[in-house]
Structure 1
Amino acid sequence: MNWYIKVLKNYVEFEGRARRQEYWMFGLVSFIIAIILGIFEGVLGISGVLSGLYSLFIFLPGLAVAVRRLHDTGKSGFWVLISLIPVAGAIVLLIFMCLDSDLYENKYGPNPKFN
């Protein structure tokens, strides 16, 4: 949960680097919250209201952590736009997000594993 809170606190921080753990833990907690909201909406009979609001709330922090994750692998944040290409773009972005960090300092800052 600390990783999730950390990303929310840095919701407009597009500079620097984010570890794999930070990115994937944020994604996991976001996914769990979305599932819980979906169940809650189903029980109440409201369709998509809470999920839609949550998606709007989480969009900017999710984009920021994705850009910082790309920076951690030595790639520009603009690579996130590759996800606009159907299927293939999402696969390429997934591979980039799974790559290990640049071991040493790169042009985006020091390795967060050693800070």
Structure 2
Amino acid sequence: MEFMFMPFRRYAEFSGRSRRMEYWMWTLFIFVVYLVFVVLGVALGATAILGASQGSSGGTAAGAGGAIIVFALFGIFLLAIFLPSLAVAVRRLHDTDHSGWWILAPMIGSVIQVAGGAMHSQVVALVGGLVGLVIGVLLLVWYFSDGTAGANRFGPDPKGRGGPGGYDQGYGQGYGQQPAQGYGAPQQNSW
């Protein structure tokens, strides 16, 4: 639950790194809220349609007014999550040691599509769609990939892995905890 709301605490922070857990829990939160808004909007819209089919002007007005309010609230929600969504996506790319500017890369396909439409060329528009799709899949792969172990050019590892000696400081041990003896722990020389 903590990871789900972390992007709100780091609202417009585009520097640093974010773990997969933070990114995907944020995505799950947005998806669940989206489903709630859709269900409410459909239910209120269906009430309006049902009221209209039965000749009831009161039910129609109430249902339509409720649907408008739900969709207005949804619009406000989308505005409120725009910056944190962009920021957590950029930080996620940073965790995989990629520039945050990659988030704009799918626009290349859109530009090619628009150019193809302006030239009345379906082939160019198709190529633009394929370019956008390939870049989108590449971004998705990076979002699913584990971050680089240890510090990278964007900051320290949010999982606390890697140390100055290059060995693992206890993968999964948490922040500030010493690794247990055994695999991943620094070995003492016996001589």
Q: Would the TM-score normalized by the shorter structure come out above 0.5?
A: yes
- Residue of structure 2 in register with 1:109 after alignment: 155
Alignment partner of 1:74 out of 88, 97, 117: 97
- What SS does structure 1 have at the residue aligned with 2:98? coil
SS in 1 for 2:146: coil
Q: Which amino acid aligns with 1:44?
A: L
CA offset digits 1:48-76 (Å, max 9, x no partner): 33322221111110000000000000010
What residue number does 1:94 align with?
Answer: 140
What amino acid does structure 1 have at the position aligned with 2:27? G
Other-structure match for 1:16: 16
Q: Tell me, yes or no, if structure 1 residue 27 matches structure 2 residue 39.
A: no
- Identical positions, percent: 40
Stretches of structure 2 that go unaligned for 5 or more consecutive residues are 46-66, 110-131, 161-174, 176-191
Distance across 2 between alignment mates of 1:83 and 1:53: 25
Q: 1:35-46 residue pairs with structure 2 within 5 A?
A: 35-45=35-45, 46=67
In structure 1, C-alpha distance between the alignment counterparts of 2:79 and 2:39, rounded to whole Å: 19
> Structure 1-normalised TM-score?
0.91
Tell me how far 1:21 sits from its aligned partner. 0.7
Equivalent-residue separation in structure 1 for 2:134 and 2:74 (angstroms): 26
Contact 1:41 1:50 in 2 (8 A): no
Number of residue pairs aligned between Structure 1 and Structure 2: 115
Q: Write the distance in 1 (CA, Å) between the matches of 2:9 and 2:40.
A: 26
Go from structure 1 to structure 2 and tell me whether the alpha carbon gap of 1:70 and 1:56 turns closer, same or farther (over 3 Å shift).
same
Amino acid at match of 1:24: W
SS in 2 for 1:112: coil
Where structure 1 has 5 or more consecutive residues not aligned to the other structure, the ranges are: none
| Distance in 1 separating the partners of 2:76 and 2:40 | 14
Give how far 1:87 is off. Answer: 2.1
Listed one character per residue, the Cα deviations across residues 28-59 of structure 1 (whole Å, up to 9, x for unaligned) are: 11101110111112222326333222211111
Which has the larger Rg? 2
- CA distance in 2 between counterparts of 1:92 and 1:41 reads 34
**Cross-structure match for 1:49:** 72
TM-score (norm 2): 0.57
Distance 2:106 2:139 in 1: 6
| 1:38/1:50 CA distance change after superposition, 3 Å | farther
Q: Of the two structures, which has the highest relative contact order with CA contacts closer than 8 Å and spacing of 6 or more?
A: 1
Q: CA RMSD in A?
A: 1.4
SS at the partner of 2:13? coil
Q: Relative to total residues, which structure has the larger helix share, 1 or 2? A: 1
